[in-house]
Amino acid sequence: MKVLVTGGAGYIGSHACLELLEAGYEVVVIDSLVNSSVESLRRVERLTGKSLTFCKADIANRDTLTELFTNHKFVAVMHFAGLKAVGESVQQPLRYYQNNISGSLVLFEVMQKAGVKTLIFSSSATVYGAPESLPIKESAAVGTTNPYGSTKLFIEYMLKDLFVADDSWRIALLRYFNPVGAHVSGQIGEDPNGPPNNLMPYISQVAVGKLNKLNVYGTDYPTQDGTGVRDYIHVVDLVRGHIAALRVLSALEEGEVITANLGTGNGQSVLEMVEAFELASKKPVPYEVAPRREGDIAECWADSSYAADRLDWRAEYGVARMCEDAWRWQKNNPKGY
């Protein structure tokens, strides 16, 4: 059974490829490498002892995609390809709309033509905007605060509309909370270009001595210690949620759109993450208090009971393990891939 993984060379996609190969699937990756290196895929092959097919192309390239669907019989597509930096999306909205929305549109059209109608899409908790209550259920109001988030929400709408028009599609919209950590081997992990925007890679780079100190964005939020609270989820748990979704979609007798949060259901503050990382790495993580970051919310964590019921999936790893694995990756690969 062959799966097309878009964005498979990236952080989450490479972990998904590894998990798919280990679960016995064949894997074809399409990735433009705009934010990744093919080295991640070489390492996935080494770790699993299995090979995958790699195609370096943009998903907006209709001819290449069509050729892939002609040459391979896919049972499903896992769609990770997309640009994901919130701040950058505010600066370059058209690039984000072009890349994320137009690219997805071409992919869905080619899938429809090829009759491959099983899709797992990387959505995000960002579609909830500033949540009205916690934990966040899938039924919560949606609304976005930046172009990146808008692309995720709009792609969800596109897929829901597609299902209305053709109810044979089997679609999982997986809304990720905050993916962190790395494969236990320390061979694949998150490799941001330039200084990281996100907390966990920033902390890792401070611990390894690449950056001097962490800026803690705001200590006056109405949270346990005044710093922002998020639902951090181990990337391996996250990709196992995709395999679970693939199994459920494949077993459906008729089409459906399943929308599910992938989170742990727990919230950790910035300072709790710093402490957990210091414990795991045995390295100091110096920090300084900085003003709030524009657009940040105080708290966000998932009600993940629907994924438990519907996908028979639960996150297994806690924060200590997320930090240990992130640290192993960082210290083995101080310069990334």
Residues within the interface to ligand UFG (CB under 6 A): 84, 86, 124-126, 176-178, 197-199, 202, 214-217, 228, 230, 270, 293, 296
Q: Which does 215 bind (CB under 5 to 8 A by kind): ligand UFG, ligand NAD, none?
A: ligand UFG
Distance CA 193, CA 184 (A): 22
Min separation Cβ 260 and ligand UFG, Å? 14
Q: Of 96, 148, 202, 232, which one is the catalytic site residue?
A: 148
Closer to ligand NAD by Cβ: residue 84 or 170: 84
Q: Which does 185 bind (CB under 5 to 8 A by kind): ligand NAD, ligand UFG, none?
A: none
| Sign of the alpha-carbon dihedral angle for 335, 180, 177, 289 | negative
Q: Where are the alpha helices (DSSP H) in the chain?
A: 11-22, 39-48, 62-71, 86-91, 93-96, 103-114, 147-165, 199-207, 235-251, 270-281, 305-311, 319-332
Min separation Cβ 254 and ligand NAD, Å? 27
* Segment 119 to 138, residues that bind ligand NAD, using CB under 6 A: 122, 124
Distance CA 11, CA 122 (A): 12
Closest residue by beta carbon to ligand NAD: 10
Min separation Cβ 62 and ligand UFG, Å? 28
Closer to ligand UFG by Cβ: residue 217 or 337: 217
Q: How many CB atoms lie within 10 A of CB 28?
A: 21
| Tokens representing residue 17 in the block | 């490829």
Instruction: Decide if residue 201 touches ligand NAD (CB under 6 A).
Output: no
Q: Phi/psi class of residue 115: alpha, beta or left (left: φ > 0; alpha: ψ in -120 to 50)?
A: left
Instruction: Decide if residue 31 touches ligand NAD (CB under 6 A).
Output: yes
Q: Which does 31 bind (CB under 5 to 8 A by kind): ligand NAD, ligand UFG, none?
A: ligand NAD
The label of the residue with tokens 């044979």 reads 168
Q: Over the Cα atoms of the chain, what is R_g?
A: 19
* 148 catalytic per annotation: yes
Q: Which of 305, 309, 312, 304 is nearest to 178 (CA)?
A: 304
Closer to ligand NAD by Cβ: residue 8 or 218: 8
Query: DSSP secondary structure string, 210-260?
Result: SSS-EEEE-S-SSSSSSS-EE-EEEHHHHHHHHHHHHHHHHH-SS-EEEEE
Identify whether the C-beta of residue 40 lies closer than 8 Å to the C-beta of residue 263.
no
Q: Which does 59 bind (CB under 5 to 8 A by kind): ligand NAD, ligand UFG, none?
A: ligand NAD
CA 159, distance to chain mean position in Å, is 18
Instruction: Decide if residue 103 touches ligand NAD (CB under 6 A).
Output: yes
Min separation Cβ 166 and ligand UFG, Å? 29
Residues 47-86 as x/- pattern, contact with ligand NAD by CB under 6 A = -----------xxx-------------------xxxxx--
Closest residue by beta carbon to ligand UFG: 228
* Segment 8 to 27, residues that bind ligand NAD, using CB under 6 A: 9-13
Min separation Cβ 272 and ligand NAD, Å? 18
Per-residue burial over 300-334, b = 16 or more CB atoms within 10 Å of its CB, e = otherwise: bbbbbebbeebbebebebebebbbbbbbbbbeebe
Which residues are known to be catalytic? 148
Chain residues in the site for ligand NAD (CB under 6 A): 7, 9-13, 30-36, 58-60, 80-84, 99, 103, 122, 124, 176, 178-179
